[in-house]
Structure 1
Amino acid sequence: MTTPMMPDLSAPASSHTSSSRPVVAVTGADGFIGSHLTEQLVQAGYHVKAMAIYNSQGSYGWLDTVPPETMQHVEVQLGDVRDSGSVRALMQEAQTVYHLAALIAIPYSYVAPRSYVETNITGTLNVLEAARELGTGRVVHTSTSEVYGTARTVPIHETHPLQGQSPYSATKIGADKLAESYFLSFGLPVVTLRPFNTYGPRQSARAVIPTIISQIAAGRREIRLGDLRPTRDFNFVADTARAFRAVGEAGPEVLGQTLNAGSGQEITVGDTVRLIARVMGADVEVTQEDVRLRPEGSEVMRLLADASSLSAATGWQPGVSLEEGLRRTAEWFTDPANLARYRVDTYTV
């Protein structure tokens, strides 16, 4: 198995050209975490081949907001992870592929489950097959804490049982097991990162933290939410992106492993509202809307990570506290140009 080549960072980053940089690929680079990871990879000295989902507007998603000097080292390919040809073209010459492309909205998975199978499972199969054919040095596959379902024991170790409490989580379990099978069956150099709840600038308002912050930033003081009881282990997006880099650059001992990335701290949704209100200097009231509630058996009530295996293998530790991360996120959302991208008064599944 091949260990990925590290970039030569002894020279200033500005001295690198795209042709001299080691090449990596990122699926889902146009998304929330993917765009932040792409920026970090460029800053670390890589040339990034970035897949953005094809659209007739030629939009690169969140990559359109990345500074031009960063984009000089990003080669964007409009495509679709469900299409094997798109995936293979993206991964040509890449020593490592970071596979983040997925459908992630849990409520929409109740509405259109087949699309989750096609994107999350078939898309992952396309990445694994391309890596096997091309001899890609490493595949970093993205999992999610949702595969654990409601915690049976805490903190949640990677050996915790997997529970498909939504069509979304079921498809991610399927994708995780495909990645595992390609390591065991073919010796494919795969490592799976399992981030707990990531938040930060650019996140969709389908997630709870941007739902709260965007409503407050728009002047609302009656905040509309679902269940306030569940606990989550929140992680700032820069820390999650660093975790991806950590497993992408670690030695071969991480291959075949699944590694949690989380803070090891939990907070209820209700307490998260109160903390955000304090950070933003707002007095708010919460109204529970039935449309925002998950089916009773599908709601994941408790998530709390044990990330000791990731820390032991790579030295990774979260670096941004929840309060500091919320402050940075709130600053981004209160910029009128950023807030204008969100439909604050509309609940979208």
Structure 2
Amino acid sequence: MVFPSDPARRRALVTGVRGFTGAYVKDELQRGGYEVVGTLARNDIADANEHALDITSLDECRRVIDEVRPAYIVHLAAISFVAHDDALEMYRVNVLGTLNLLQACSEVGHRPDKILIVSSANVYGNAGGVVDETTPPAPVNHYAASKLAMEHLVRTWFDLLPIVMTRPFNYTGRGQSERFLVPKIVSHFVKRRSLMELGNLYVARDFSDVRTVAATYRALLESSVAGETVNVCNERPRTLKEIVAMVREASGHDLEIRVNPAFVRANEVKSLVGSASRLRRLVPGVPAIDFAETIKWMVRATDGE
């Protein structure tokens, strides 16, 4: 992409910039020559080029959009932990917060060049086989339902603003919370624990590297894509049992795996693998990182390298 000479035309607003994904998206955009302005939770202390923002407040969204006037918006701020215990908060943040950003753009008279809004592949629920963007959504938890509600309402803005929505499948990398399975597994092996409790070892997920996801988001920002919803995935399902074997090999440690029935959710999505055909057509050439290399990278980080 050739940037215009006006520095403001290279300004990207990243909501949730201090989150796991936000840190990688920020780095990716800065490498591409963008000025990145971030938002963070209202009670956090903002650094330079950051704004504290309660995304559930339309007034605050108007203030930030009017002050920053970004050429690009990457909307990452969300409650993304499926087992979050406050369902109402999940809907307020994931649905109303997203709509507030779009409404704020309209009300302050600002039209960005591109807005990327992140949904989730969890909207597909327990779909079998390989799912593409035409697969009927069937959410099985509040997180997925909140994302699907958000999608439906965001589509009403497609004729008004240049929006692309992504449905990322599972991804991981250095810095992800140990509440999530892959960092939890890596941590147990690197710390030379003797026992780890997991749920269903045969749950299969389509895993990507967070760095690939960040590069994909940048490519979508720089493309002509608008009014589209697109999967972000690797097209390769891996069971927990396979991931454990990969971490075992990378760490050089072994431990006992015990299945804890309390970790097996009744509405567990058994297998979720995506089709990236639309993504490849829209933004060809984004290099993927092999998941075995992702695991080695995470093990080295947890091991202090």
Same fold (TM over 0.5): yes
2:175 aligned with 1:202: yes
Could you list the per-position Cα deviations for residues 91-124 of structure 1 after superposition, in whole angstroms to 9, with x for gaps in the alignment? 332011100100011112xx21101001100111
1:192 counterpart (165, 169, 177): 165
Kept in 2: contact 1:224–1:286 (CA 8 A):
yes
2:23 aligned with 1:49: no
Give the equivalent residue in structure 2 for 1:28. Answer: 16
2:278 counterpart (309, 312, 330): 309
State the 4+ residue runs in structure 1 displaced beyond 6 angstroms: none
Give, in whole Å, the separation in 2 of the partners of 1:139 and 1:41.
Answer: 14
Give, in whole Å, the separation in 2 of the partners of 1:261 and 1:20.
Answer: 29
Kept in 1: contact 2:124–2:137 (CA 8 A):
yes
RMSD in angstroms over aligned alpha carbons?
2.0
Give the equivalent residue in structure 1 for 2:186. Answer: 213
State the one-letter code of the partner of 1:242.
A
Could you list the per-position Cα deviations for residues 158-177 of structure 1 after superposition, in whole angstroms to 9, with x for gaps in the alignment? 01111110000000001111
**Aligned partner of residue 77 in structure 2, secondary structure:** coil
State the one-letter code of the partner of 2:275.
D
Give, in whole Å, the separation in 2 of the partners of 1:131 and 1:260.
Answer: 26
Compared CA separation, residues 306 and 317, structure 1 to 2 (3 A): farther
Give the equivalent residue in structure 1 for 2:3. Answer: 7
Compared CA separation, residues 292 and 316, structure 1 to 2 (3 A): farther
Using the TM superposition, give the Cα deviation of residue 292 of structure 1 relative to its aligned residue in structure 2, in angstroms.
Answer: 2.4
* Unaligned runs of at least 5 residues, structure 2: none
TM-score, normalization: structure 1? 0.81
Could you list the per-position Cα deviations for residues 43-71 of structure 1 after superposition, in whole angstroms to 9, with x for gaps in the alignment? 10000110011225x277xxxxxxxxxxx
Kept in 2: contact 1:21–1:47 (CA 8 A):
no
* Unaligned runs of at least 5 residues, structure 1: 10-17, 61-73, 337-349
2:95 aligned with 1:121: yes
Using the TM superposition, give the Cα deviation of residue 88 of structure 1 relative to its aligned residue in structure 2, in angstroms.
Answer: 2.6
Using the TM superposition, give the Cα deviation of residue 21 of structure 1 relative to its aligned residue in structure 2, in angstroms.
Answer: 6.8
2:116 counterpart (140, 146, 151): 140
**Aligned partner of residue 292 in structure 2, secondary structure:** helix
Give, in whole Å, the separation in 1 of the partners of 2:285 and 2:200.
Answer: 32
**Aligned partner of residue 260 in structure 1, secondary structure:** strand
Kept in 1: contact 2:230–2:278 (CA 8 A):
yes
Give, in whole Å, the separation in 1 of the partners of 2:157 and 2:4.
Answer: 31
Using the TM superposition, give the Cα deviation of residue 316 of structure 1 relative to its aligned residue in structure 2, in angstroms.
Answer: 4.2
2:125 aligned with 1:149: yes
Kept in 2: contact 1:26–1:34 (CA 8 A):
yes
Could you list the per-position Cα deviations for residues 170-221 of structure 1 after superposition, in whole angstroms to 9, with x for gaps in the alignment? 00001111111211xx432110011110100111112110010111222213
Using the TM superposition, give the Cα deviation of residue 7 of structure 1 relative to its aligned residue in structure 2, in angstroms.
Answer: 2.7
**Aligned partner of residue 154 in structure 2, secondary structure:** helix
2:221 aligned with 1:222: no
Kept in 2: contact 1:50–1:77 (CA 8 A):
yes
Using the TM superposition, give the Cα deviation of residue 262 of structure 1 relative to its aligned residue in structure 2, in angstroms.
Answer: 0.8
Compared CA separation, residues 192 and 6, structure 1 to 2 (3 A): farther
Give, in whole Å, the separation in 2 of the partners of 1:272 and 1:216.
Answer: 12
2:136 aligned with 1:161: yes
Give, in whole Å, the separation in 2 of the partners of 1:135 and 1:218.
Answer: 49
Give the equivalent residue in structure 2 for 1:63. Answer: none
Say how many residue pairs are matched: 301
Give the equivalent residue in structure 1 for 2:246. Answer: 275
Could you list the per-position Cα deviations for residues 14-66 of structure 1 after superposition, in whole angstroms to 9, with x for gaps in the alignment? xxxx957711101111100111101111110000110011225x277xxxxxx
State the one-letter code of the partner of 2:163.
V
Could you list the per-position Cα deviations for residues 226-276 of structure 1 after superposition, in whole angstroms to 9, with x for gaps in the alignment? 22111001000000001111111101xx21111111111111111111111
**Aligned partner of residue 273 in structure 1, secondary structure:** helix
1:174 counterpart (149, 157, 169): 149
TM-score, normalization: structure 2? 0.93
Compared CA separation, residues 151 and 126, structure 1 to 2 (3 A): same
State the one-letter code of the partner of 1:150.
N
Kept in 2: contact 1:240–1:261 (CA 8 A):
yes
Using the TM superposition, give the Cα deviation of residue 287 of structure 1 relative to its aligned residue in structure 2, in angstroms.
Answer: 1.4
State the one-letter code of the partner of 1:29.
V
Kept in 2: contact 1:230–1:300 (CA 8 A):
yes
Using the TM superposition, give the Cα deviation of residue 332 of structure 1 relative to its aligned residue in structure 2, in angstroms.
Answer: 1.5
Compared CA separation, residues 89 and 48, structure 1 to 2 (3 A): farther
**Aligned partner of residue 182 in structure 1, secondary structure:** coil
After TM superposition, the structure 1 stretch with the greater mean CA deviation from structure 2, 159-168 or 327-336, is: 327-336
Compared CA separation, residues 83 and 334, structure 1 to 2 (3 A): farther
Could you list the per-position Cα deviations for residues 282-324 of structure 1 after superposition, in whole angstroms to 9, with x for gaps in the alignment? 1122112233222x1x211111110111111111444210100
Kept in 2: contact 1:310–1:316 (CA 8 A):
no
State the one-letter code of the partner of 1:30.
R
